[in-house]
Amino acid sequence: MGGGSFTEADTERFYDSQDSHYRTFWDSEGSLHWGVFDERTGNDFLKASANLNEIMAQKALIDEKSTVIDLGCGNGNTSIWLAETHGCEILGVDLSGVRIDNAAAALASRSHELRQRVRFEKASVTALPQEEASFSHAWSQATFYHVHDKAAALREAYRVLRPGGILIFDDLIKPASEVSEMAREYVYNRLLFDTDYDFESYQDALRAAGFEVLDAADLSEHLARSYARLAELADGASGDDGHLRALAFAYQKMVTCIENDEVGWAMYACRK
């Protein structure tokens, strides 16, 4: 299993510490995933990021009868959005206690009715405290790539879903088995991950975990467009901040690595 030398504790430390930096250029509200561009979004990154939410919610058929677990909910933006716009109940879990506290703080200012339907809890997606068959939907954005034991995460998603329940998620994939030094430095080591899965073998892993794959989309071109736009946004926000300038540079390299098929992005919808 690909996993590099990073531990879950490294990932937790990273997400406990980096929030304010990302809010300066990615999304001031704190969401942290990529976007799908179309004629309605134009080149607007936040619209593209919101567009991914819409696409996933529609594919998964989430409505007011749904009970959802958001695996790696981060600052809770999408969980709150899903409950607000699609009427579901939702539990957001994340490894980072800082992000869970941020999510709870964002929820605190919302209506009593919304607060009845949304909860946040610190947990790893590889060892969920929830009981078997607790949810109609498992949702995840930009999180599984951090998980070394992806089979364990898929097993856990399967376990907590009811029979017939839907797992919808996006994740990074590795189209090429060998990657360049540049990809190691600016993609894999920088993002603290590695993976054995390409677009097809990910689907084999989902089937091995017991899922029926309903829908699979290779979104790599949108990942490249997301990083091209994020490079501009980080550069524009950088001022004297060397860390942001370095990020903007890394994002440009990331675009090249995506174009070289050294990293890609996919979305899957599956049924238990």
By the criterion CB under 6 A, which residues form the site for ligand SAM?
8, 11, 15, 31-33, 72-74, 77-78, 93-96, 99, 124-126, 141-143, 146-147
* CB closer to ligand SAM, 73 vs 230: 73
Q: Which residue is nearest to ligand SAM (CB)?
A: 74
* CB closer to ligand SAM, 18 vs 180: 18
Q: How far is the CB of 178 from ligand SAM (least distance, A)?
A: 25
* CB closer to ligand SAM, 142 vs 258: 142
Q: How far is the CB of 8 from ligand SAM (least distance, A)?
A: 6
Q: Count the Cβ atoms, other than its own, within 10 Å of residue 243.
A: 11
Q: How far is the CB of 142 from ligand SAM (least distance, A)?
A: 4
* CB closer to ligand SAM, 123 vs 179: 123
* Residue whose C-alpha is closest to residue 192's, from 244, 234, 145, 126: 145
Q: How far is the CB of 170 from ligand SAM (least distance, A)?
A: 9
Dist. CA 199–CA 123, nearest whole Å: 27
> Which two tokens mark 16?
């406990």
Three-state DSSP string of 72-105: CCCCCHHHHHHHHHHCCEEEEEECCHHHHHHHHH
- End-to-end CA distance of the chain: give it in Å, rounded: 24
